[in-house]
Structure 1
Amino acid sequence: MVQVTKLSVQVHNPNRANLYVDGKFYKGLDKIVAVRLGLRPGLTLTPFLISQLDQQQTASSAWEFALRSLQRSPKSVSTMRRKLQDKLFPDEVVNQTIQRLIDGKILDDDLLANNLVRYYSANGKRSRKQIWALLKTKQLPTSVINEALANIDGGQEFLAAHKLAQQKNHQWRELGFKVRQQKIAGYLNQRGFQYAVIKQVIDHNQLDAEESA
């Protein structure tokens, strides 16, 4: 049996401690883990206690890693799961960490999707299809994305397409109307706007209104 001989707070990280066993450095660990296990000088480290130490430290490391990652940017459940797996945390620890984040409302796919839809639609220049593709890169479930996109009404998409059409109509004003109309339609189609919306914004009256403005 080995015995704890010293437990000292790390100089550069007060949330971490150095554990010494039988007079020699054994390992670094989170202070919260040391407190939970009641580690103190004179305590005998039984095989069971060593196992608990390893398990709790792994869980604590996964939790701290997840929080640091979320501080940098919001993430979906799938993205966070992948990041934890990439760090080679055991599946059980990954699942427990994810569930803890969800229970604490720290991970919330619905909230993330709604916030991203508001952000991406704020400049009024993206189609619903473009926003869908952007949200998909965040590894959000399709059902969650579709529900968030339901908050974008047809009027918003029309205004976004109309704004872009006006810009291109001005840029290509030296071209004949038909050529300009075709180029604008192609441009909007590439950006994912629906045919019905494109047809509305390239209407003769819509483009003429911009020319005379």
Structure 2
Amino acid sequence: MAIITKIAVQQKNTNRYNLYLDEAYAFSVDEAVLIRFALKKGKELTDFDITQIQYEDDIRKAFNEAVHFLSFRMRSEGEIKKHLAKKEWNEPIIGAVLQTLREHQYVDDLEFAKAYVRTQVNTGKKGPQIIKQELLQKDVQNSYIENALTLYKTEDQILHAIQLGNKHAEKNKHLSEKILKQKLEQFLLTKGFSFDIISIAMEEIHFEKKDEEEWLSLVKQAEKADRKYQNLEGFAYKQKMKQALFRKGFSLELIDRYIDEKENRC
């Protein structure tokens, strides 16, 4: 048995108290632990009491760490678990902390998923599949994710796909219409939109080119190819140019036109 002979508040952290047993410093505890175990001068503690007190204090310290982590933004339980594990808290401690957080309604993975989806919908930069993958990486269970994704209405997905597609099309307007269409569809897939949404959005995205626009795109690509194959002559030059421009998605008619016009200029 040991007797508490002194309790002193810490100067740098007034929520923690130093306990002295039999006139010697033993350990410190959080104020909540001090109150829970009714620790006061003169109280006798067994070895089991001390072990239990220190275990509960560890839970409190980990809990405080979790609350601090939550103070910056909402977190999923999985994020909190990973954060505490990095701080080297063991599984029983982390489990106890998560249970306390749930009791205080500091964590709710369904509400977290809904808030996350609402934020992503407002930014309009990602499709549902990317959002789902990000939530899975945060260890949110699939049923919560599917529930939350109902907030991302079909009309919003189409609108966002169109907006992203038009921006991407503008950045890649030098490409042929055929290649640009392929790149747009692939781009929207990587952004997390479904084939059905992409199919609808493509009808509104401005990627189709007038004849003159397609011609200007070909000329730009042809000039690059010409610099690469300028040392070739005759049939070899024509074949390399045709192959290069055909791979870029231009029609053989336009390619032949370019080569014929180039020959006439020479």
TM bucket, shorter chain: 0.7 to 0.9
User: Which residue identity does 1:88 align to in structure 2?
Assistant: W
CA deviation profile, 1:166-207 (whole Å, cap 9, x unmatched): 11222233333333222222222222322222222223x642
Q: How does 1:191-210 map to 2 (within 5 A)?
A: 191-203=191-203, 206-207=205-206
The equivalent of 1:98 in structure 2 is 98
Query: 1:154 maps to which residue?
Result: 154
In the other structure, the counterpart of 2:33 is 33
> CA-to-partner distance for each residue in 1:84-107, whole Å, 9 max, x for gaps?
45533352x433332221122111
Q: Which aligned pairs between 1:120-159 and structure 2 lie closer than 5 A?
A: 120-159=120-159
Return the alpha-carbon distance in structure 1 between the equivalents of residues 67 and 97 of structure 2.
Answer: 10
Look up the equivalent residue of 2:41 and give its one-letter code. Answer: P
Distance 2:195 2:120 in 1: 21
Partner of 1:9: 9
Q: Deviations over 1:52-102 (max 9, x none)?
A: 4223323322322221222244222233334445533352x4333322211
Cα deviation 1:123-172 (Å, max 9, x = unaligned): 21211111111111211001111110111111111111100111122223
Larger Rg: 2
- Contact map agreement 1:62 1:89 (CA 8 A) in 2: no
- Distance in 2 (CA, whole Å) between partners of 1:125 and 1:210 is 25
Measured after TM superposition, the shift of residue 22 of structure 1 is 1.7
Amino acid of the structure 2 residue aligned with 1:74: M
Correspondence for 2:164: 164
Q: Label 1:26 to 1:184 Cα distance change in 2 as closer, same or farther (>3 A).
A: same
> 2:168 and 2:81 mapped to 1: Cα distance?
43
Is residue 181 of structure 2 the alignment partner of residue 177 of structure 1? no
What's the counterpart of residue 79 of structure 2? 79
| Aligned: 1:88 with 2:89 | yes
Whichever residue aligns with residue 185 of structure 2, its letter is: A
Deviation at 1:2, TM superposition (A): 2.3
The equivalent residue for 2:65 is 65
Which has the larger displacement, 188-197 or 171-180? 171-180
- Count of residues in Structure 1 that have an aligned counterpart in Structure 2: 209
Deviation at 1:32, TM superposition (A): 2.2
Aligned to 1:19, the other structure's residue is in SS state: strand
2:17 pairs with 1:53: no
Instruction: State the match for 1:112 in structure 2.
Output: 112
Q: Residues 52 and 123 (structure 1 numbering): CA distance in 2 closer, same or farther, change over 3 Å?
A: closer
Q: 5+ residue gaps in structure 2?
A: 211-266
Asked if structure 2 preserves the Cα contact closer than 8 Å seen for 1:4 and 1:41, the reply is yes
Give the Cα–Cα distance (whole angstroms) in 2 for the partners of residues 124 and 179 of structure 1.
25
Secondary structure of residue in 2 paired with 1:113: helix
Structure 1: runs of 5 or more not aligned? none
* One-letter code aligned to 1:89: N
Identity %: 26
Q: TM-score, normalised by structure 2?
A: 0.70
Q: Do 2:19 and 2:25's aligned partners in 1 also have CA atoms closer than 8 Å?
A: yes
- State which drifts further: 178-187 or 81-90: 81-90
> Which letter does structure 2 place at the counterpart of 1:143?
S
Q: 1:6, 1:20 within 8 Å by CA — same for their partners in 2?
A: yes
8 Å contact from structure 2 (residues 6, 19) kept in 1: yes
Q: Is the 8 A contact 1:121 1:131 kept in 2?
A: no
